[in-house]
Structure 1
Amino acid sequence: MIKNKSDHSLVYTDEFINTIEQDFVFSNKPINRFKVKLETTKNQNAEKKTLLEELKKNINSIENCNLKSNSNHLILGDGKPDSPIMLIGEAPSANEDESGKTFQGEVGTLLDKMLLAIEIKRDSIYLSYAINFRPPEDRKPTSQEIKRYSIFLKKHISIIDPKLIILMGSSAMEALTGSGNKISKERGNWKEIILDNKTYPMMISFNPSYLIRFPENKKYSWEDLKKIRDKIKELKIKL
């Protein structure tokens, strides 16, 4: 509206109206916020997939690595990349190196039972390793190897961006905490790691392969699992 100079009354003029942007599109249909959220999730998942493929190429470009030269497969990870929970084991063994997948055979069966005990299905989380190639004779990775691959592991975590990390085994613990202590002294305690200005809570526990050899320690793993269950409730994580 503008004021007419002659009678000072308020009038509408075509000149004024034409100065208003006219590229408005009106619709009686409500915004489908679920669809918008779904599209956003698809875009994020596509971006993660691209970043994970790049990470795998970077790991595969490592030279003069005894682990790589003695392995059949690079085991990056599997499961749900958009899961709020990331589980990190120590290193692939013969079963994983043959199949190209994480936590196979007897170890995988035990892990499934452990997760189901706190109402988690394996396919609802993301699983990986501190070391991406099978160590010869399934030996424990050296501190030098753990340190070398920890660079990739930290990048891996940043890509997945979970709300909670479960570390299983001393190699996984050392990769992210730098601690070479016995896992029996460190397990059962929540720790934190900061990556790209984000803080991730971590629970350290025994690796399933260790529990198969020393089943008397399953009672301690159960205590750890209950703490993980409580943290999931506290953070209101939905799987």
Structure 2
Amino acid sequence: MISANDLSPAELAALLHFHADAGVEWLLEEEAVDRFAEFEAMKAARRPVQAQPERPIAEERPFPAERRASPRASGAARPAPAPGPQPAIPDSEAVQQARFVAEAARSLGELRTAIEAFNGCNLKHSARSTIFASGNAESGIMVIGSAPSAEDDREGTPFSGKSGQLFDKMLAAIGLDRSGVLLTQVIPWRPPGNRPASPAEMDICRPFIERQIALAEPQAILLLGNFAARFFFGDNDTIHGLRGRWREITIANRAIPAIASLHPQDLLTAPVNKRLAWNDLLAFQAKLNSLALLRN
């Protein structure tokens, strides 16, 4: 047996950590305990004292169903039924409900409350957080991502985690920061496994993002990611075909200039595309300067 005196301080500390992780709370007892005797006593306690005689088969048969006393007849309380899942709302009805609650909101605060109370989209039931617009709604500058990531869902804010750190650097490169612009996502709830949102889910969520834009009244929008660009431009091309060109999107009878670029997550996956994103950011900066939205 190895004595504690034979161990170095580092080895002794490692051994103590091992015992602690294994659940050991006491290394020594005040009195010796015979664990083998305890084990034998436990086994003896579990053995039946005397074998019960077999009962006739007729006694083991249950009464026929028609002769059993019903809970109502015997006065016994009937157990409450277990709550079942919420009934699914048809997609067309869910879209109408989304439009109604979105149009009823007269401020971004009211809209956030309405979205958090909305249960017509199945994405909400699997997500941890509702991702809503954050930042400066008076800036006239809006940045819209595709859908919440796992980090967004955990933190409850758009553009979180490593991609959010890169996003902050992208903004800083053109004289912006996240507190000075309005940030949001097309879809307020993270799709399970980061899968693409279905067409029905997109239709249900469309009134919410369009109402955010209508209430914020931005003068320029930066769309990040393939999904966001396709969602607003109505084009099935890839982000490489959609990026870098100014277009107009019409929200609440207002034509708003918008440009698409690669999402920060895309740049983490393929850093070679950072040059393309930088060109898009310069174009966005030039537009903001022309609209006098950048502070010098």
Normalised by the size of structure 1, how large is the TM-score?
A: 0.75
- CA distance in structure 1 between the partners assigned to 2:230 and 2:294 by the alignment: 29
Larger Rg: 2
Q: Taking structure 1 as reference, are residues 59 and 180 closer, same or farther at Cα in structure 2, changes over 3 Å only?
A: farther
- CA distance in structure 2 between the partners assigned to 1:51 and 1:200 by the alignment: 19
- Aligned residues of 1:146 and 1:171 also touching (Cα < 8 A): no
Superimposed CA distance per residue, residues 160-203 of structure 1 (whole angstroms, 9 cap, x where no aligned partner)? 10110000012211222222221110100101012222221001
* Equivalent residue runs for 1:44-63 within 5 Å: 51-63=107-119
Is residue 159 of structure 2 the alignment partner of residue 81 of structure 1? no
- Aligned residues of 2:106 and 2:215 also touching (Cα < 8 A): no
User: Residue 105 of structure 1 corresponds to which residue in structure 2?
Assistant: 161
- CA distance in structure 1 between the partners assigned to 2:239 and 2:171 by the alignment: 20
**CA drift at 1:148:** 2.4
Instruction: Name the aligned partner's letter for residue 125 of structure 2.
Output: S
**CA drift at 1:96:** 1.2
Is residue 127 of structure 2 the alignment partner of residue 71 of structure 1? yes
Mark the runs of 5 or more structure 1 residues left unpaired by the alignment: 1-48
Is residue 235 of structure 2 the alignment partner of residue 172 of structure 1? no
- CA distance in structure 2 between the partners assigned to 1:151 and 1:180 by the alignment: 21
| Greater relative contact order (Cα < 8 A, sep 6+) | 1
Instruction: Name the aligned partner's letter for residue 92 of structure 1.
Output: P
- Aligned residues of 1:141 and 1:171 also touching (Cα < 8 A): no
User: Residue 182 of structure 1 corresponds to which residue in structure 2?
Assistant: 238
**CA drift at 1:116:** 1.0
Aligned length: 191
User: Residue 29 of structure 1 corresponds to which residue in structure 2?
Assistant: none
- Aligned residues of 1:90 and 1:169 also touching (Cα < 8 A): yes
Q: Secondary structure of the equivalent of 1:221? A: helix
Q: Secondary structure of the equivalent of 1:87? A: strand
- CA distance in structure 1 between the partners assigned to 2:172 and 2:146 by the alignment: 21
User: Residue 201 of structure 1 corresponds to which residue in structure 2?
Assistant: 257
Instruction: Name the aligned partner's letter for residue 58 of structure 1.
Output: A
Is residue 273 of structure 2 the alignment partner of residue 217 of structure 1? yes
Percent of aligned pairs sharing the same letter: 35
Q: Secondary structure of the equivalent of 1:132? A: coil
Superimposed CA distance per residue, residues 27-86 of structure 1 (whole angstroms, 9 cap, x where no aligned partner)? xxxxxxxxxxxxxxxxxxxxxx96113222332344353311101111111111111100
Q: Secondary structure of the equivalent of 1:193? A: strand
Q: Secondary structure of the equivalent of 1:179? A: coil
Q: Secondary structure of the equivalent of 1:232? A: helix
* Equivalent residue runs for 1:17-166 within 5 Å: 51-166=107-222
Q: Secondary structure of the equivalent of 2:235? A: coil
- CA distance in structure 2 between the partners assigned to 1:139 and 1:164 by the alignment: 29
- CA distance in structure 2 between the partners assigned to 1:59 and 1:172 by the alignment: 19
- Aligned residues of 1:79 and 1:126 also touching (Cα < 8 A): yes
